[in-house]
Structure 1
Amino acid sequence: MYTKVATLSLAALASASPVARSLSTSKAYQLQAQLVDPAKDLNPPISGQFLSTAHTGAGLNVATLSANADPSSPPFYTNGTSTDGFVDVLNDLGTDFSWGIIVQGSDATDPNFPGEHSVSVNAGGGSDGMGIQATDTTAQLHAPESGDFAVCTRHVDTLNEDLPVVRFVYEGETIPEGCVGVQFVPICAQLNDLPADSQTTHDFVQEVPCVASS
Protein backbone atom coordinates (compact mmCIF):
# COMPACT_ATOMS: atom_id res chain seq x y z
CA MET A 1 0.00 0.00 0.00
CA TYR A 2 3.01 2.29 0.31
CA THR A 3 5.15 4.44 -2.01
CA LYS A 4 8.18 6.94 -1.82
CA VAL A 5 9.60 10.76 -1.20
CA ALA A 6 11.82 13.36 -2.98
CA THR A 7 13.05 16.94 -2.96
CA LEU A 8 10.11 19.05 -4.05
CA SER A 9 9.77 22.49 -5.59
CA LEU A 10 8.14 24.48 -8.34
CA ALA A 11 9.92 27.79 -8.77
CA ALA A 12 7.06 29.15 -10.83
CA LEU A 13 4.76 28.69 -7.82
CA ALA A 14 7.13 29.69 -5.03
CA SER A 15 6.45 33.41 -5.25
CA ALA A 16 2.70 33.11 -5.71
CA SER A 17 -0.04 32.59 -3.13
CA PRO A 18 -1.84 29.30 -3.85
CA VAL A 19 -4.99 30.32 -2.01
CA ALA A 20 -5.63 32.83 -4.80
CA ARG A 21 -6.04 29.94 -7.27
CA SER A 22 -9.01 27.67 -7.71
CA LEU A 23 -9.42 24.44 -5.77
CA SER A 24 -9.23 21.26 -7.81
CA THR A 25 -8.48 17.58 -7.18
CA SER A 26 -5.55 15.33 -7.98
CA LYS A 27 -3.86 12.13 -6.91
CA ALA A 28 -0.59 13.96 -6.27
CA TYR A 29 0.60 17.29 -4.92
CA GLN A 30 3.58 19.37 -3.91
CA LEU A 31 3.37 20.87 -0.41
CA GLN A 32 4.01 24.62 -0.35
CA ALA A 33 4.70 26.48 2.89
CA GLN A 34 2.49 29.49 3.55
CA LEU A 35 3.14 31.70 6.55
CA VAL A 36 0.37 31.82 9.15
CA ASP A 37 1.40 35.42 9.80
CA PRO A 38 2.71 36.99 6.53
CA ALA A 39 4.59 39.59 8.57
CA LYS A 40 6.72 36.91 10.23
CA ASP A 41 9.29 35.02 8.19
CA LEU A 42 12.72 33.50 8.78
CA ASN A 43 16.01 34.89 7.48
CA PRO A 44 16.55 33.79 4.77
CA PRO A 45 12.82 33.75 3.96
CA ILE A 46 10.99 30.44 3.60
CA SER A 47 7.55 31.63 2.47
CA GLY A 48 6.51 29.86 -0.74
CA GLN A 49 9.12 27.12 -0.48
CA PHE A 50 8.25 23.43 -0.72
CA LEU A 51 8.45 20.52 1.66
CA SER A 52 11.59 18.57 0.93
CA THR A 53 14.00 16.17 2.62
CA ALA A 54 17.55 16.07 3.91
CA HIS A 55 19.12 12.64 4.34
CA THR A 56 20.31 12.03 7.90
CA GLY A 57 20.88 8.27 8.01
CA ALA A 58 19.84 4.90 6.61
CA GLY A 59 16.14 5.22 5.79
CA LEU A 60 15.97 8.57 7.58
CA ASN A 61 15.28 12.11 6.36
CA VAL A 62 14.55 15.29 8.25
CA ALA A 63 11.67 17.28 6.75
CA THR A 64 13.01 20.58 5.45
CA LEU A 65 12.20 23.14 2.76
CA SER A 66 13.60 23.74 -0.70
CA ALA A 67 13.21 26.54 -3.23
CA ASN A 68 15.01 24.67 -6.01
CA ALA A 69 12.99 24.14 -9.18
CA ASP A 70 12.64 20.49 -10.08
CA PRO A 71 9.24 19.73 -11.62
CA SER A 72 10.39 16.15 -12.26
CA SER A 73 10.64 15.40 -8.53
CA PRO A 74 8.06 12.81 -7.49
CA PRO A 75 5.20 14.47 -5.58
CA PHE A 76 3.49 13.58 -2.34
CA TYR A 77 0.20 11.70 -2.30
CA THR A 78 -2.38 10.46 0.18
CA ASN A 79 -2.26 6.68 0.47
CA GLY A 80 -4.67 4.19 2.01
CA THR A 81 -8.37 3.47 2.33
CA SER A 82 -10.98 4.06 4.98
CA THR A 83 -11.81 0.35 4.70
CA ASP A 84 -8.26 -0.56 5.72
CA GLY A 85 -8.43 2.04 8.47
CA PHE A 86 -4.97 3.47 7.71
CA VAL A 87 -4.24 6.61 5.71
CA ASP A 88 -0.87 8.34 5.40
CA VAL A 89 1.06 10.73 3.16
CA LEU A 90 3.84 9.25 1.07
CA ASN A 91 6.16 10.16 -1.79
CA ASP A 92 8.53 8.40 -4.18
CA LEU A 93 12.19 9.33 -3.75
CA GLY A 94 13.22 7.38 -6.81
CA THR A 95 13.89 4.27 -4.72
CA ASP A 96 12.18 0.89 -4.71
CA PHE A 97 10.30 1.45 -1.47
CA SER A 98 8.04 4.02 0.15
CA TRP A 99 8.82 7.03 2.35
CA GLY A 100 6.21 8.57 4.65
CA ILE A 101 5.74 11.82 6.57
CA ILE A 102 6.08 11.08 10.29
CA VAL A 103 5.15 13.54 13.04
CA GLN A 104 6.84 12.87 16.38
CA GLY A 105 4.33 12.07 19.10
CA SER A 106 3.32 14.56 21.77
CA ASP A 107 5.17 12.53 24.39
CA ALA A 108 8.48 12.66 22.49
CA THR A 109 10.77 15.51 21.44
CA ASP A 110 13.92 16.12 19.41
CA PRO A 111 16.87 15.06 21.62
CA ASN A 112 18.88 18.10 20.52
CA PHE A 113 15.99 20.56 20.96
CA PRO A 114 13.92 19.58 24.02
CA GLY A 115 10.28 20.48 23.71
CA GLU A 116 10.29 20.47 19.88
CA HIS A 117 8.48 17.74 17.98
CA SER A 118 10.30 16.78 14.80
CA VAL A 119 8.82 15.91 11.41
CA SER A 120 10.58 13.26 9.34
CA VAL A 121 10.19 11.60 5.95
CA ASN A 122 11.41 8.07 6.58
CA ALA A 123 11.44 4.75 4.77
CA GLY A 124 8.15 2.87 5.03
CA GLY A 125 4.76 4.25 5.93
CA GLY A 126 3.97 7.63 7.44
CA SER A 127 1.94 8.63 10.50
CA ASP A 128 -1.55 7.16 10.40
CA GLY A 129 -4.10 9.92 9.90
CA MET A 130 -1.95 12.32 7.89
CA GLY A 131 -3.86 13.80 5.00
CA ILE A 132 -5.33 16.81 3.24
CA GLN A 133 -8.12 18.87 4.78
CA ALA A 134 -10.11 21.26 2.61
CA THR A 135 -12.46 24.22 2.95
CA ASP A 136 -14.40 25.92 0.17
CA THR A 137 -11.41 28.07 -0.75
CA THR A 138 -8.21 26.19 0.07
CA ALA A 139 -6.67 22.98 1.40
CA GLN A 140 -3.82 22.12 3.72
CA LEU A 141 -1.87 19.23 5.18
CA HIS A 142 -3.20 18.10 8.54
CA ALA A 143 -1.63 15.83 11.15
CA PRO A 144 -3.29 13.00 13.10
CA GLU A 145 -3.67 15.21 16.21
CA SER A 146 -4.65 18.86 16.68
CA GLY A 147 -1.86 21.37 16.28
CA ASP A 148 0.08 23.40 13.74
CA PHE A 149 3.20 23.07 11.64
CA ALA A 150 6.14 25.40 12.12
CA VAL A 151 9.52 25.90 10.45
CA CYS A 152 12.65 26.62 12.48
CA THR A 153 16.26 27.23 11.54
CA ARG A 154 18.12 24.50 13.40
CA HIS A 155 21.57 22.92 13.30
CA VAL A 156 21.40 19.36 11.96
CA ASP A 157 24.36 17.55 13.51
CA THR A 158 24.52 14.70 11.01
CA LEU A 159 24.84 17.19 8.15
CA ASN A 160 26.78 19.80 10.17
CA GLU A 161 24.69 22.65 8.78
CA ASP A 162 21.80 24.91 9.68
CA LEU A 163 18.56 24.10 7.85
CA PRO A 164 14.94 25.24 7.90
CA VAL A 165 13.42 22.15 9.52
CA VAL A 166 9.75 21.34 9.99
CA ARG A 167 8.28 21.00 13.48
CA PHE A 168 4.84 20.19 14.84
CA VAL A 169 3.34 22.25 17.65
CA TYR A 170 0.56 20.40 19.47
CA GLU A 171 -2.56 22.19 20.64
CA GLY A 172 -1.82 24.06 23.84
CA GLU A 173 1.91 24.38 23.09
CA THR A 174 3.76 27.54 22.07
CA ILE A 175 5.69 27.91 18.83
CA PRO A 176 9.39 27.65 19.81
CA GLU A 177 11.66 30.68 19.64
CA GLY A 178 13.20 31.21 16.22
CA CYS A 179 10.32 29.50 14.43
CA VAL A 180 7.39 30.64 12.28
CA GLY A 181 3.98 29.05 11.92
CA VAL A 182 3.18 27.63 8.48
CA GLN A 183 0.46 25.82 6.63
CA PHE A 184 1.41 23.32 3.94
CA VAL A 185 -0.86 23.90 0.97
CA PRO A 186 -1.11 21.06 -1.60
CA ILE A 187 -0.38 22.25 -5.13
CA CYS A 188 -1.85 19.83 -7.68
CA ALA A 189 0.77 17.72 -9.47
CA GLN A 190 1.03 14.71 -11.73
CA LEU A 191 1.45 11.34 -10.02
CA ASN A 192 4.69 9.74 -11.17
CA ASP A 193 4.92 6.27 -12.67
CA LEU A 194 6.59 3.55 -10.61
CA PRO A 195 9.51 1.56 -12.03
CA ALA A 196 8.74 -1.99 -13.04
CA ASP A 197 10.76 -3.44 -10.15
CA SER A 198 9.17 -1.25 -7.46
CA GLN A 199 8.30 -2.90 -4.14
CA THR A 200 5.28 -0.66 -3.69
CA THR A 201 2.08 0.28 -5.48
CA HIS A 202 -0.07 3.27 -6.35
CA ASP A 203 -3.26 1.21 -6.20
CA PHE A 204 -4.43 2.88 -2.98
CA VAL A 205 -3.67 6.51 -3.85
CA GLN A 206 -6.58 8.83 -3.09
CA GLU A 207 -7.93 11.70 -5.18
CA VAL A 208 -7.71 14.71 -2.85
CA PRO A 209 -8.42 18.46 -2.91
CA CYS A 210 -5.49 20.61 -4.00
CA VAL A 211 -4.81 24.08 -5.35
CA ALA A 212 -4.65 24.24 -9.14
CA SER A 213 -1.12 25.03 -10.29
CA SER A 214 -2.28 27.36 -13.04
Structure 2
Amino acid sequence: MTMFTTLLAVGAASLASATPLQSRQVVPNYPPNEVSTGFRLVANVTDPATDLTPSVDGWEFQGIHTGAGLNDAVLASGPGRIFYHNGTAAEIRFAEGSILADGGTPLFPYGIYVQGEDEVDPTYPAEHDVAINVGSGTIGVSLLAFPDPYFYLTAHAQGTFVACPRTVPYYNAEFTVVRFAYDTFNPDTALFDRNVPEGCTAITLIPECDTLPELPEGSISSHEFAANSKCYEDVSAINWPEYGP
Protein backbone atom coordinates (compact mmCIF):
# COMPACT_ATOMS: atom_id res chain seq x y z
CA MET A 1 0.00 0.00 0.00
CA THR A 2 1.54 3.28 -1.08
CA MET A 3 0.41 6.69 0.07
CA PHE A 4 0.24 9.49 -2.47
CA THR A 5 3.42 11.57 -2.59
CA THR A 6 2.32 14.40 -4.87
CA LEU A 7 -0.93 15.71 -6.24
CA LEU A 8 -1.10 15.47 -10.01
CA ALA A 9 -2.17 18.53 -11.99
CA VAL A 10 -5.07 18.04 -14.33
CA GLY A 11 -4.89 19.94 -17.63
CA ALA A 12 -6.58 19.99 -21.02
CA ALA A 13 -4.86 18.29 -23.93
CA SER A 14 -4.70 20.05 -27.31
CA LEU A 15 -6.32 18.23 -30.18
CA ALA A 16 -5.57 18.54 -33.89
CA SER A 17 -6.08 22.03 -35.28
CA ALA A 18 -9.04 20.90 -37.36
CA THR A 19 -10.80 19.53 -34.28
CA PRO A 20 -12.43 21.94 -31.82
CA LEU A 21 -11.22 21.78 -28.22
CA GLN A 22 -13.50 19.68 -26.06
CA SER A 23 -13.75 19.92 -22.30
CA ARG A 24 -13.70 16.81 -20.14
CA GLN A 25 -15.13 16.85 -16.67
CA VAL A 26 -12.87 15.23 -14.10
CA VAL A 27 -14.66 13.78 -11.09
CA PRO A 28 -12.46 13.72 -7.97
CA ASN A 29 -12.27 10.37 -6.23
CA TYR A 30 -10.90 10.36 -2.71
CA PRO A 31 -11.22 7.81 0.10
CA PRO A 32 -14.32 8.32 2.23
CA ASN A 33 -13.75 10.07 5.53
CA GLU A 34 -15.65 10.58 8.75
CA VAL A 35 -15.62 13.21 11.49
CA SER A 36 -14.51 12.52 15.05
CA THR A 37 -13.10 14.46 17.98
CA GLY A 38 -10.60 11.72 18.79
CA PHE A 39 -8.23 9.91 16.46
CA ARG A 40 -5.12 7.74 16.40
CA LEU A 41 -2.22 8.34 14.00
CA VAL A 42 -1.39 5.44 11.69
CA ALA A 43 1.87 5.30 9.72
CA ASN A 44 1.82 4.81 5.98
CA VAL A 45 5.19 4.09 4.35
CA THR A 46 5.45 6.37 1.30
CA ASP A 47 8.03 4.22 -0.53
CA PRO A 48 7.69 0.46 0.13
CA ALA A 49 11.18 -0.11 -1.28
CA THR A 50 12.62 1.68 1.78
CA ASP A 51 10.34 0.06 4.37
CA LEU A 52 11.93 -1.29 7.54
CA THR A 53 12.06 -4.94 8.61
CA PRO A 54 9.58 -5.78 10.00
CA SER A 55 7.38 -3.41 8.03
CA VAL A 56 6.12 -0.37 9.94
CA ASP A 57 3.26 0.25 7.49
CA GLY A 58 0.11 0.35 9.62
CA TRP A 59 1.98 0.80 12.90
CA GLU A 60 0.71 3.51 15.23
CA PHE A 61 2.16 6.67 16.72
CA GLN A 62 2.68 6.67 20.50
CA GLY A 63 5.21 7.61 23.16
CA ILE A 64 7.70 5.89 25.44
CA HIS A 65 8.45 7.44 28.82
CA THR A 66 11.87 9.10 29.02
CA GLY A 67 11.42 11.36 32.06
CA ALA A 68 8.84 13.35 34.04
CA GLY A 69 6.31 14.54 31.47
CA LEU A 70 8.61 13.45 28.61
CA ASN A 71 8.02 10.82 25.92
CA ASP A 72 9.96 9.97 22.80
CA ALA A 73 7.64 9.46 19.82
CA VAL A 74 7.76 5.91 18.44
CA LEU A 75 5.82 3.57 16.18
CA ALA A 76 4.49 0.29 17.55
CA SER A 77 2.26 -2.47 16.21
CA GLY A 78 -0.31 -2.08 18.98
CA PRO A 79 -2.99 0.61 19.34
CA GLY A 80 -1.55 4.12 19.59
CA ARG A 81 -2.51 7.07 21.75
CA ILE A 82 -5.76 8.93 21.16
CA PHE A 83 -5.20 12.53 20.08
CA TYR A 84 -7.44 15.52 19.45
CA HIS A 85 -7.05 18.76 17.52
CA ASN A 86 -7.22 21.56 20.10
CA GLY A 87 -7.95 25.19 19.29
CA THR A 88 -10.51 27.70 18.15
CA ALA A 89 -11.87 27.49 14.62
CA ALA A 90 -9.55 30.33 13.56
CA GLU A 91 -6.50 28.74 15.19
CA ILE A 92 -7.10 25.43 13.48
CA ARG A 93 -7.81 27.08 10.13
CA PHE A 94 -4.49 28.92 10.23
CA ALA A 95 -2.49 25.99 11.69
CA GLU A 96 -2.07 27.65 15.08
CA GLY A 97 -3.78 24.97 17.13
CA SER A 98 -2.25 21.90 18.79
CA ILE A 99 -2.45 18.14 18.49
CA LEU A 100 -2.90 16.92 22.06
CA ALA A 101 -3.33 13.71 24.04
CA ASP A 102 -4.19 13.27 27.71
CA GLY A 103 -1.81 11.57 30.12
CA GLY A 104 -0.55 11.38 33.68
CA THR A 105 -2.38 11.53 37.01
CA PRO A 106 -4.36 13.75 37.12
CA LEU A 107 -4.68 13.99 33.34
CA PHE A 108 -2.51 16.69 31.76
CA PRO A 109 -2.39 17.77 28.09
CA TYR A 110 0.55 16.30 26.17
CA GLY A 111 1.48 17.94 22.85
CA ILE A 112 3.49 16.77 19.85
CA TYR A 113 6.84 18.54 19.69
CA VAL A 114 9.05 18.69 16.59
CA GLN A 115 12.60 19.98 16.94
CA GLY A 116 13.45 22.98 14.77
CA GLU A 117 16.15 22.91 12.11
CA ASP A 118 18.61 24.39 14.61
CA GLU A 119 17.89 21.65 17.19
CA VAL A 120 19.18 18.08 17.07
CA ASP A 121 19.01 14.80 18.95
CA PRO A 122 22.02 14.60 21.31
CA THR A 123 22.70 10.95 20.42
CA TYR A 124 22.07 11.33 16.68
CA PRO A 125 23.15 14.92 15.93
CA ALA A 126 22.07 14.82 12.28
CA GLU A 127 18.45 14.08 13.25
CA HIS A 128 15.51 16.07 14.64
CA ASP A 129 13.44 14.57 17.46
CA VAL A 130 9.70 14.21 17.67
CA ALA A 131 8.29 13.93 21.19
CA ILE A 132 4.98 13.80 23.08
CA ASN A 133 5.59 15.98 26.14
CA VAL A 134 3.55 17.85 28.71
CA GLY A 135 2.36 21.15 27.23
CA SER A 136 0.77 22.48 24.09
CA GLY A 137 3.30 21.07 21.62
CA THR A 138 4.84 22.77 18.60
CA ILE A 139 2.53 25.30 16.97
CA GLY A 140 2.06 24.33 13.34
CA VAL A 141 1.96 20.59 13.99
CA SER A 142 -1.59 19.93 12.86
CA LEU A 143 -3.85 17.95 10.56
CA LEU A 144 -3.67 19.27 7.03
CA ALA A 145 -6.71 21.43 6.43
CA PHE A 146 -8.90 22.40 3.48
CA PRO A 147 -8.41 22.62 0.53
CA ASP A 148 -6.17 19.53 0.54
CA PRO A 149 -8.41 16.49 -0.12
CA TYR A 150 -6.35 14.17 2.10
CA PHE A 151 -5.92 14.36 5.87
CA TYR A 152 -2.59 13.72 7.60
CA LEU A 153 -0.24 15.17 10.19
CA THR A 154 1.96 18.02 9.03
CA ALA A 155 4.63 20.08 10.76
CA HIS A 156 3.96 22.97 8.35
CA ALA A 157 7.61 22.87 7.41
CA GLN A 158 9.31 21.63 4.26
CA GLY A 159 10.12 18.03 5.13
CA THR A 160 8.71 14.66 6.13
CA PHE A 161 8.21 12.46 9.16
CA VAL A 162 10.45 9.39 9.14
CA ALA A 163 10.66 6.15 11.11
CA CYS A 164 14.11 5.00 12.23
CA PRO A 165 15.42 2.05 14.28
CA ARG A 166 17.44 3.85 16.95
CA THR A 167 18.82 3.13 20.41
CA VAL A 168 17.03 5.17 23.10
CA PRO A 169 19.60 5.88 25.87
CA TYR A 170 16.96 5.92 28.64
CA TYR A 171 16.35 2.20 28.01
CA ASN A 172 19.61 1.34 26.25
CA ALA A 173 17.37 -0.51 23.81
CA GLU A 174 16.29 -0.07 20.20
CA PHE A 175 12.89 1.36 19.25
CA THR A 176 11.35 2.52 16.00
CA VAL A 177 11.49 6.23 16.74
CA VAL A 178 9.81 9.01 14.77
CA ARG A 179 11.93 11.93 13.52
CA PHE A 180 11.29 14.91 11.28
CA ALA A 181 13.60 15.26 8.27
CA TYR A 182 13.80 18.80 6.87
CA ASP A 183 14.17 19.15 3.12
CA THR A 184 17.10 21.06 1.63
CA PHE A 185 16.70 23.67 -1.08
CA ASN A 186 18.64 22.76 -4.21
CA PRO A 187 19.69 25.96 -6.07
CA ASP A 188 20.50 23.98 -9.22
CA THR A 189 16.93 22.74 -9.63
CA ALA A 190 15.13 25.41 -7.56
CA LEU A 191 13.41 22.49 -5.81
CA PHE A 192 13.59 20.95 -2.35
CA ASP A 193 15.42 17.64 -1.90
CA ARG A 194 14.44 15.03 0.66
CA ASN A 195 16.92 14.26 3.45
CA VAL A 196 15.74 10.92 4.84
CA PRO A 197 18.43 9.73 7.30
CA GLU A 198 20.27 6.51 6.51
CA GLY A 199 18.37 3.43 7.64
CA CYS A 200 15.07 5.33 7.97
CA THR A 201 11.89 5.32 5.90
CA ALA A 202 9.61 8.27 5.10
CA ILE A 203 6.11 7.97 6.53
CA THR A 204 2.80 9.81 6.44
CA LEU A 205 0.87 9.88 9.74
CA ILE A 206 -2.82 9.52 8.95
CA PRO A 207 -5.72 10.04 11.42
CA GLU A 208 -7.89 7.01 12.13
CA CYS A 209 -11.14 7.86 13.90
CA ASP A 210 -11.52 6.90 17.55
CA THR A 211 -13.56 7.95 20.57
CA LEU A 212 -12.08 10.69 22.76
CA PRO A 213 -12.61 9.50 26.34
CA GLU A 214 -14.43 11.67 28.85
CA LEU A 215 -12.15 13.46 31.32
CA PRO A 216 -12.49 12.37 34.96
CA GLU A 217 -13.09 14.97 37.64
CA GLY A 218 -9.91 16.73 38.73
CA SER A 219 -8.24 16.59 35.30
CA ILE A 220 -5.92 19.42 34.29
CA SER A 221 -6.71 18.70 30.63
CA SER A 222 -9.75 20.33 29.05
CA HIS A 223 -11.70 19.30 25.98
CA GLU A 224 -13.47 22.65 25.65
CA PHE A 225 -11.65 23.40 22.40
CA ALA A 226 -11.30 19.84 21.14
CA ALA A 227 -12.39 20.19 17.50
CA ASN A 228 -14.16 17.78 15.22
CA SER A 229 -11.55 16.44 12.80
CA LYS A 230 -11.79 14.60 9.51
CA CYS A 231 -10.36 11.10 9.78
CA TYR A 232 -10.59 7.65 8.20
CA GLU A 233 -12.44 4.62 9.57
CA ASP A 234 -9.66 2.12 8.80
CA VAL A 235 -6.42 3.53 7.38
CA SER A 236 -4.80 0.16 6.70
CA ALA A 237 -7.77 -0.92 4.57
CA ILE A 238 -7.43 1.99 2.15
CA ASN A 239 -5.95 1.14 -1.25
CA TRP A 240 -4.43 4.56 -1.98
CA PRO A 241 -3.61 3.99 -5.69
CA GLU A 242 -7.35 3.74 -6.37
CA TYR A 243 -7.84 7.39 -5.47
CA GLY A 244 -6.90 10.75 -6.86
CA PRO A 245 -8.17 13.57 -9.09
Task: Give the TM-score category using the shorter length.
Answer: 0.7 to 0.9
Residue 210 of structure 2 corresponds to 189
Residue 76 of structure 1 corresponds to 83
SS where residue 39 of structure 1 aligns?
A: helix
Q: Which has the higher contact order (CA 8 A, sep 6+)?
A: 1
Matched, 1:149 2:161: yes
Cα distance, 1:44 vs. partner?
2.2
8 A Cα contact 1:74 1:94, kept in partner: no
8 A Cα contact 1:99 1:126, kept in partner: yes
Cα distance, 1:82 vs. partner?
5.0
1:98-117 map, 5 Å: 98-117=109-128
Aligned pair partner of 2:230 in 189, 201, 209: 209
C-alpha change, 1:155 and 1:106, in structure 2 (3 Å) is same
Cα distance, 1:159 vs. partner?
0.9
**Unaligned segments of structure 1, at least 5 residues:** 1-15
Aligned pair partner of 1:22 in 19, 24, 32: 32
- Aligned counterparts of 2:116 and 2:50: Cα–Cα separation in 1: 26
Note the aligned Cα RMSD (angstroms): 2.2
Residue 171 of structure 1 corresponds to 183
State the one-letter code of the partner of 1:35.
V
Cα distance, 1:93 vs. partner?
2.5
Cα distance, 1:42 vs. partner?
0.9
More strand by share: 1
State the one-letter code of the partner of 2:159.
G
C-alpha change, 1:212 and 1:18, in structure 2 (3 Å) is farther
Residue 10 of structure 1 corresponds to none
- Aligned counterparts of 1:196 and 1:144: Cα–Cα separation in 2: 35
C-alpha change, 1:74 and 1:103, in structure 2 (3 Å) is closer
Q: How many residues are aligned here?
A: 195
Residue 126 of structure 1 corresponds to 137
* Identical pairs, percent: 37
8 A Cα contact 2:2 2:47, kept in partner: no
Residue 41 of structure 2 corresponds to 31
State the one-letter code of the partner of 1:133.
L
List per-residue Cα deviations over 1:127-156 (Å, max 9, x = no partner). 1111111533x3110113221100000000
Residue 171 of structure 2 corresponds to 159
- TM superposition score normalised by structure 1: 0.83
**Unaligned segments of structure 2, at least 5 residues:** 5-29, 185-193, 238-245
Matched, 1:48 2:55: no
8 A Cα contact 1:74 1:191, kept in partner: no
C-alpha change, 1:174 and 1:18, in structure 2 (3 Å) is closer
State the one-letter code of the partner of 1:156.
V
- Aligned counterparts of 1:50 and 1:166: Cα–Cα separation in 2: 11
Structure with greater Cα Rg: 2
C-alpha change, 1:39 and 1:185, in structure 2 (3 Å) is same
